[in-house]
Structure 1
């Protein structure tokens, strides 16, 4: 009897074990094209492989599991540049660290591709020793020349993003200079945290700043694309064929999950 009691007492109830416990729920949330077992292995590996993350997740496992639900619904890989898992101070928890999920630039690019409207997404940072040229209204796309064999490309000075649509048209071109990126960074509640992606993956956050703006101009939702195809089919017989133009700003699949980059989080507000 005592051996059974000890086994119960030492049973793992930590964050990784909780993921396994809710395996079926996460498997039901991920999109059909995602391998649920592989997604769960990534989530478990991310938390078991980082003591800081595991400690923060233990502060409030419920919040951590709900952040993983966001990654599951979006079909993004947790603990990667698709979906960062970062410790964040929570006022409701006495400023102890909890887990906050942040959609990364690779996650946004994945959602854009998944919608099915684009053939390629280009998002690049520009450094001070690069050559960059783009005149809106004159140039269809930027010209960016890099000395790949130079000793030093210099500091980050800008970032740009655009998509090539399936029909060959170019989406709106997004160009952000350093000042604009710093404005976006300033909105981040975690910017000064040692765990913030702005500290640990600065260039990736510059890329996210541009591609997040691009997401307003290209579809990031498969449902949106299906609606567009249905509408096109209804008017195809009576509408003359015209060359495609860049899409106007559209509701983004990210709006519900990443409304303002990675802004403040208070533990009492997480639901």
Structure 2
């Protein structure tokens, strides 16, 4: 087979893969989050397949597996073929297929997108680093690195935590080699030479720690659902609450309402001696016995 024939065959295969993704552009746009532009996202997906000949071959061998991975990345709004979302190959039933794996940047992106944290810290600790953290005593880990040392040693630990918007620190996740080995063992296709576990080991340590952190901080989907639920409840309460009815003020008589301080009566104080008893003597024609007889009746 000539070189021109091989080149033509590869171009045909790449075009068929690109055409497959383009064919589902409408479905992809439907599941993408609203902040992601479908045109740009589809170009990223097509470019990721074209850059990796092994991935292109697996996509041609099992187109359904490619679209399953692409749609999974689209639902999460993560960029395929990057450290947000890996597109890898593995052999299933003797046939090469495509597998999608969320990367550590994808885990962090989902945490940030929820809007509950101000920063996320995810790091690996190597053999020569100094690391100290005691739960219940320390709010955050102390991690000291000698940046002048070009060889920090082998991977030893991975940790992750978040600073919430109110300044509080989330739970601190610390994983050792045993935790990482267990996560790798449970990861499908980890033994494949094209798996990020083989090609990007440190990134997968970071991913494992970040993924464990999502158990303790809100991620995009759950936090949005909770926000929408809370907003709906508040809206329902406001709609159901009756408007307060204010009683009309009592009618007032303008004349009565006149300030009494505005009216006054001139008077005169007379200095006179108290009246004498003569002034209060009974009249001469007053019949005392007749009056008493009337009272007794």
TM-score by length of 1: 0.77
The question of 1:42 aligning with 2:44 is answered yes
Residue in 1 aligned with 2:124?
125
SS of corresponding position for 2:203: helix
Q: Tell me the secondary structure at the aligned position of residue 223 of structure 2.
A: helix
Q: Is the 8 A contact 1:114 1:222 kept in 2?
A: no
- Whole-angstrom distance in 1 between the partners of 2:77 and 2:182: 29
Gap regions ≥5 residues in structure 1: 1-9, 235-271
Whole-Å separation in 2 of the counterparts to 1:224 and 1:51? 38
Tell me, in whole angstroms, the C-alpha distance in 2 between the residues paired with 1:69 and 1:11. 21
1:61 maps onto 2:63 in alignment: yes
Q: Which residue of 1 aligns with 2:211?
A: 212
CA distance in 1, matches of 2:188, 2:152: 30
In 2, Cα distance between the equivalents of 1:12 and 1:68? Answer: 16
1:160 alignment counterpart: 159
Give the superposed CA RMSD: 1.9
Once the two structures are TM-superposed, the CA of residue 189 in structure 1 deviates from its matched residue by 3.2
Q: Which has the larger radius of gyration?
A: 2
Query: 1:123: how far off?
Result: 0.2
2:88, 2:110 → 1: CA distance?
Answer: 21
C-alpha displacement of 1:12: 7.5
- Structure 1 residue aligned with 2:30, among 20, 24, 28? 28
State the aligned residue count. 222
Q: How does 1:217-256 map to 2 (within 5 A)?
A: 217-225=216-224, 227-228=226-227, 231=230
Take 1:150 and 1:127, find their aligned partners in 2: how far apart are those partners? 12
Please report how far the alpha carbon of residue 224 of structure 1 lies from its aligned counterpart in structure 2 after TM superposition.
2.5
> Residue deviations 1:79-135, cap 9 Å, x none?
0111100101112xxx11100101111101000000110010000000000010100
Q: Tell me the TM-score normalised to structure 2 length.
A: 0.71
Whether contact under 8 Å (1:117, 1:225) holds in the other structure is no
Residue of structure 1 in register with 2:136 after alignment: 137
C-alpha distance in 2 between matches for 1:228 and 1:23: 30
Query: What residue ranges of structure 2 are gaps of 5+ in the alignment?
Result: 1-11, 235-297
The within-5 A match list for 1:70-219 is 70-91=72-93, 95-219=94-218
Which digits, 9 at most, give the CA deviation of each residue in 1:55-94, with x for residues without a partner? 0011121221121000000000000111100101112xxx
Alpha carbons of structure 1 residues 158 and 81: separation in structure 2 relative to 1, 3 Å: same
Q: 1:187 to 1:34 in 2, by over 3 A?
A: same
Aligned equivalents of 1:35, 1:69: Cα separation in 2: 15
Indicate if the aligned counterparts of 1:116 and 1:222 stay in contact, CA closer than 8 A: no
Partners of 2:15 and 2:65 lie apart in 1 by: 15
For each residue in 1:165-223, what CA deviation from the matched residue of structure 2 results, as whole angstroms up to 9, or x when unmatched?
A: 11111110000011211111122232221011110000000001111100111111245
* Cα contact 2:127–2:155 (8 A) shared by 1: yes
For 1:4, the equivalent position in structure 2 comes to none
Q: 1:144 to 1:34 in 2, by over 3 A?
A: same
Q: Which structure carries more relative contact order (alpha carbon 8 Å, separation 6+)?
A: 1
Higher relative helix content: 2
